[in-house]
Structure 1
Amino acid sequence: MTDVAVVTGGGRGIGAGLARALSDRGHHVVVTDVDGAAAQRTADVLPGPATALPLDVRDPGAHRAVALAAADLGDVTVWVNNAGILSTAAAWDATDDEVTSTFEINTLGLIHGCRAAVDVMRRGDILNVVSLSGLGPTPGLAVYGASKAAALSYSQALHTELGGARRPIRVRALCPDAVSTELLRAVAGRPSSALLFTGPRVLEVDEVVAAGIAMIGSKRQLRVLPAWRGWLTRTQSVLPGFARVVTPAVARIGERRRPGA
């Protein structure tokens, strides 16, 4: 039976890269995106069989419809929850729409995707593209980081529950630092995005794709890219007083590196 992989947010960036890598591995890839035309463009250039479907990840019923369509094509063995949005603002400046959309897409969209995947998968891997910001407080990205922290917590709990139920489905959580995508470029002009530029460099899409693909079929449930940035972010959670003093100084470094600053 044909192995099928579903990728959400596959119209561009990391999602398109993961779709290509999964196609290279022999999967029939179901490329989904809220922008159906973008999903079709990705599907059209894949080396193997592909199907493009529009998907608004905020809609649980739409997830289930995609899952059933994918199951009709073969054995769904990989499901990638990649769709997400990035917003930066001081915690008190985020608009109602920003808060609602961020959680609906980054958190609930991932949860709906996982639930739909579990409904149709007999075995395989769910890869959730989360974020370094989900590992600890990220000033300037308070709402975004909180949405990703919830997504990470859900991913880890689901992984454990599936193991307890003896279902051969593993849930992987990939937490990359800032990646050179349209999402990052869209917020780079905001001073509140400074922490995104505090690393030595911004990651390339291909690096994140390679890390995600390497997790599939492995024993690794969580991967932070780069690993040392994960330890630094976690420190802010366990030493909040230290973080309150040091983080503004670190943010100033990012402000100097921020494009257009």
Structure 2
Amino acid sequence: MTGHAGVAVVTGAGRGIGAGIARALSARGHHVVVTDVDGDTARATADSLDGPATAMPLDVRDPAAHRAVARAAADLGDVTVWVNNAGVLSTASVWESTDAEVTSTIEINTLGLVHGCRAAVDVMRRGDILNVVSLSGLGPTPGLAIYGASKAAALSYSQALHIELGAARRPIRVRALCPDAVSTDLLHAVADRPSSALLFTGPRVLGVDEVVAGAMDLLSSRRQLKVLPAWRGWLTRTQSVLPAASRTLTPIVARIGERRRPVR
């Protein structure tokens, strides 16, 4: 059985942000169910936690697999936190994106989050669902159009689910965390592509620890949405309401990112 904090499920927790959130939730006293499509990395993260932890493989594209994780988590105790963190990052112009890239991006970033939320709601009596989305979900992202669309859909779903649960008087809050580019393996894997320039237009790339701290701060607050850094959120939203200006200004901004983009 778990301690007072209850059970927390984290997807995509084999490395990076997910592993960091798993550690932070463990430090708060949760029994953490660590999941990842790579079962070995999930076990490695679980073994590294100081508190009780359970590792399970999970392909987030599979709704039945989500439900199996949810049932296993509920058997451990009261599920009070569910973190949908698993995601992929693809960059390419729309006409150069492959069928496989489009399909996997939508299936993992959007449908995977939807399936996770549905499984969480099935077993949670109270608590928090935290969806790790992206700054790219707040406005147009040339060079990352498919990725941005997958995150925009994830953000819209998160906000709608939060409202639905409130209207149904169910004490489950849905939070959305929208960080700017983060120094993870996903980012490093695309950094050599010119289409990734927009990811490097900020003053600096965020560290994993900063995003984990933001996630914990969001879970401790009454807020539904947190953007890291906040000012980048306002800038990105402006592009949505001024599309004509954005078509002119975004390529200029992207050239700044191109200069900052690390080239291997």
Q: TM-score, normalised by structure 1?
A: 0.99
Corresponding residue for residue 22 of structure 2: 19
Question: Which residue of structure 1 lines up, in the alignment, with residue 209 of structure 2?
Answer: 206
User: What is the alpha-carbon distance in structure 2 between the residues aligned to residue 143 and residue 9 of structure 1?
Assistant: 20
Contact 1:177/1:225, CA 8 A, preserved across alignment: yes
**AA aligned opposite 1:77:** T
Deviation sequence 1:196-248 (CA, Å, 0-9, x none): 00000000000000000111142100000000000110011000000000000
Q: Shift of residue 31 of structure 1?
A: 0.2
In the alignment, what sits opposite 2:54? 51
Counterpart mapping for 1:127-146 below 5 A: 127-146=130-149
Runs ≥4 residues deviating over 4 A: none
Q: How does 1:176-191 map to 2 (within 5 A)?
A: 176-191=179-194
Residue 35, structure 1, aligned to residue 49, structure 2: no
- Deviation by residue 1:26-67 (Cα, 9 ceiling, x = unmatched): 000000000000000000000100000000000000000000
What is the alpha-carbon root mean square deviation over aligned residues? 0.7
In 1, the alpha carbon distance for the partners of 2:227 and 2:213 equals: 13
Alpha-carbon distance in structure 1 between the residues aligned to 2:96 and 2:175: 33
Q: Deviations over 1:97-124 (max 9, x none)?
A: 0000000000000000000000000000
1:229 paired with 2:227, answer: no
Q: 1:158 aligns with which of 142, 157, 161?
A: 161
Which residue of 2 is the match for residue 117 of structure 1?
120
Letter in 2 for 1:59: D
State the one-letter code of the partner of 1:254.
Answer: G
Partner-residue secondary structure (3-state), 1:224:
strand
> 1:180–1:202: 8 Å Cα contact kept in structure 2?
yes
**What amino acid is aligned across from residue 245 of structure 1 in structure 2?**
T
In structure 2, the partner of 1:255 is 258
Which residue identity lines up with residue 103 of structure 2 in the other structure? T
User: Deviation at 1:91?
Assistant: 1.0
Give the distance between the partners of 1:102 and 1:4, measured in 2 at CA: 29
User: What amino acid is the match of 1:233?
Assistant: T
**Kept in 2: contact 1:90–1:141 (CA 8 A):** yes
Whole-Å separation in 2 of the counterparts to 1:8 and 1:14:
10
Contact 1:125/1:217, CA 8 A, preserved across alignment:
no
Distance in 1 of aligned mates of 2:127 and 2:220 = 8
Q: SS where residue 92 of structure 1 aligns?
A: helix
Counterparts of 1:93 and 1:203, CA distance in 2: 28
Aligned residues between the structures: 261
Matched, 1:5 2:8: yes
1:104 corresponds to which residue?
107
- For residues 71-82 of structure 1, the aligned pairs below 5 Å read 71-82=74-85
Aligned partner of 1:246 among 230, 233, 249: 249
Tell me how far apart the structure 1 counterparts of residues 64 and 48 of structure 2 sit (CA, whole Å).
28
Task: State the partner residue of 1:67.
Answer: 70
Deviations 1:239-261 (A, max 9, x none): 00000000001000000000017
In structure 2, how many angstroms separate the alpha carbons of the residues matched to 1:61 and 1:214? Answer: 31
